[in-house]
Structure 1
Amino acid sequence: MQTRNLLFALFAISPFLFQSCSAPKSLIKVEPTQESTKWLYGQEFAKDSVSGIIYEVGFDRIVEPNYLFDFDITNRSNLEILIDPKDFYYQPLNDSLQPMVDEYFHASDPEEEILNIEKKLSITEARRKSHIALSLVGLGVDIAAAAITVSDNNPHNDYLRTDLFNAVQIGNMANEFEAVDLNELHESWSQSTIRKTTLEPGYSMKGKVFFPFFPNAKYLQLVIPIDDQNIEILFQQKYIPVKR
């Protein structure tokens, strides 16, 4: 009787146990603190300029372990300027706008990321060529093993087969999937990000910039060096609870 009551109690509370284990995560929004901002398709941009170089910056989303920001950079000066996103950085601040750590968090360097992806693609290409050679060897072994089995008078060996060719193909498929993922990642970094560029007068560029995610920050002080000056844009990080 006690066992039956215990089982009944477990069934009764199990829905609540599952709900407590799968609570939705809070949403994170990063908003500029400037009063005068620009909106574009639901995305809020902060704007600032130094010496005719105009930066418009808006938070896109978090894809851990990174913040994704959209940058729109325009050169209204009379001189060309080198844009290098790895020089951009932020400092996490607390509620009192004081630094939380004694370090700066620099943006990812697209050129380094692309180089690392190309190295991995080179490895997958070498694997692909090796798989071609191994496939031929495996196929030859499988055919030879089948021929020996057929010509063998021992009936116990009739079902003996090698399967090296298919085993190699499984490894080749995994390598091909990895190559597809790497090519897509390469395309994304190559085409969607702000890359190191000499920006001529009268020209502009747009793209994404990746920064390391700092979950405990209340504010992010974004700093963009321009020659011997800085553009500083303050963002507030907010957690929005999600209820069932």
Structure 2
Amino acid sequence: MKKLTYLYTIVVITVGMMTGCTPTKVFNLEPFGATNSTVIDGRTIVKESKDSVDVVASFVGLYQDYAVFDVEVFNNTNHDLLVSPKDFRLTPLNEDKTPYFYREQEQVGYLAIDPTEEIIKLDNRMVKEERRLKTAKTVNTILAIAGAVTLVAGATKSSGYREAASVRNTMALGESMLRIGLTKGAVDRSVYYSRMDQYSSQKDVWQQQTFLKNVIAPNSSLRGDVFIRYTSSAPLMQMSYPVGGDDIVIWFERGK
């Protein structure tokens, strides 16, 4: 199955101390109870079917707050099939398949995200960052100019004894305003470039996805990575995909 790009993060939790360490634990979800499964390159791939629609899935790893699954939907019907990443839901459950509660609240699970929607969100955030920096530049320039003007005013004041204190106060005020304007400008630019780099990297990930909202023609399929928020403490997770009035269900258990 398709490999995730280098931008994908497999979350590894390492517990170590200066005096020793324990084996590294990797978060993993293993399918179970599937009617049709196989193991390829150490990864279990399962297939479930209903009403001439097949779903093939395997757990790939983690990216940010999402569990990532390599999914392929086969349309074996005689009509077009509209699919979307948001058709998939991941529901956390207890070992006995009862609802899972976290902090006394039932966890109903999450729908998969739509990469196209994520790209739009990131574009909007980048536009806001551009506007925020532009506004900050204006404010910082005003502060710096005001500080410089105040410094000049203080320097040109009479140096008589009575005005010495006033001159010092004016010069101190001018220096503070100039320093704030210059320092804040540097900080604003640093924050801007950091956020823009982050948004750009995330956008690259979503732009590479192939499982998007689409129509699958009869006897065709669509394959790609599906990203779904997950509950890491839940022992079981149920992936569901609606077909007609029912769901195709694939079960995963947290690796031990």
What TM-score results when the alignment is normalised by the length of structure 2?
0.67
Seen in structure 2, the aligned counterparts of structure 1 residues 182 and 193 have a Cα distance that, compared at 3 Å, is farther
Hey, what's the Cα distance between the residues in 2 that align with 1:95 and 1:203?
Answer: 33
Report what 1:167 is aligned to. Answer: 184
Hey, what's the Cα distance between the residues in 1 that align with 2:148 and 2:38?
Answer: 69
Check the 8 A contact 2:210/2:223 in 1, yes or no: no
Report what 2:84 is aligned to. Answer: 84
More helix by share: 1
Report what 1:234 is aligned to. Answer: 251
Alignment counterpart, residue 204 of structure 1, candidates 215, 222, 236: 222
Hey, what's the Cα distance between the residues in 2 that align with 1:29 and 1:93?
Answer: 16
Alignment counterpart, residue 216 of structure 1, candidates 216, 228, 234: 234
Seen in structure 2, the aligned counterparts of structure 1 residues 185 and 167 have a Cα distance that, compared at 3 Å, is same
What TM-score results when the alignment is normalised by the length of structure 1?
0.70
Alignment counterpart, residue 125 of structure 1, candidates 101, 125, 130: 130
Report what 2:10 is aligned to. Answer: none
Pairwise CA distance, 1:68: 2.2
Report what 1:4 is aligned to. Answer: none
Identity rate, percent:
16
> Does 2:145 match 1:140?
yes
Per-residue CA distance 1:49-82 (angstroms, 9 max, x = gap): 3344332211122456432222123334332211
Pairwise CA distance, 1:136: 3.7
Check the 8 A contact 1:66/1:211 in 2, yes or no: yes
DSSP-derived class of the 1:48 partner:
strand
DSSP-derived class of the 1:213 partner:
coil
Pairwise CA distance, 1:47: 1.6
Report what 1:55 is aligned to. Answer: 55
> Does 2:196 match 1:184?
no
Check the 8 A contact 1:72/1:205 in 2, yes or no: yes
Per-residue CA distance 1:107-138 (angstroms, 9 max, x = gap): 23325544443443332121022133234434
Seen in structure 2, the aligned counterparts of structure 1 residues 190 and 213 have a Cα distance that, compared at 3 Å, is farther
Question: Which runs of 5 or more residues in structure 1 are unaligned?
Answer: 1-15, 240-244
Letter in 2 for 1:188: V
Seen in structure 2, the aligned counterparts of structure 1 residues 213 and 17 have a Cα distance that, compared at 3 Å, is closer
DSSP-derived class of the 1:207 partner:
strand
Hey, what's the Cα distance between the residues in 1 that align with 2:193 and 2:250?
Answer: 43
Check the 8 A contact 2:133/2:192 in 1, yes or no: yes
Hey, what's the Cα distance between the residues in 2 that align with 1:105 and 1:59?
Answer: 17
Hey, what's the Cα distance between the residues in 1 that align with 2:157 and 2:141?
Answer: 24
Alignment length, in residue pairs? 221
DSSP-derived class of the 1:37 partner:
strand
Check the 8 A contact 1:224/1:231 in 2, yes or no: yes
Hey, what's the Cα distance between the residues in 1 that align with 2:234 and 2:49?
Answer: 29
Pairwise CA distance, 1:231: 1.4
Pairwise CA distance, 1:224: 0.8
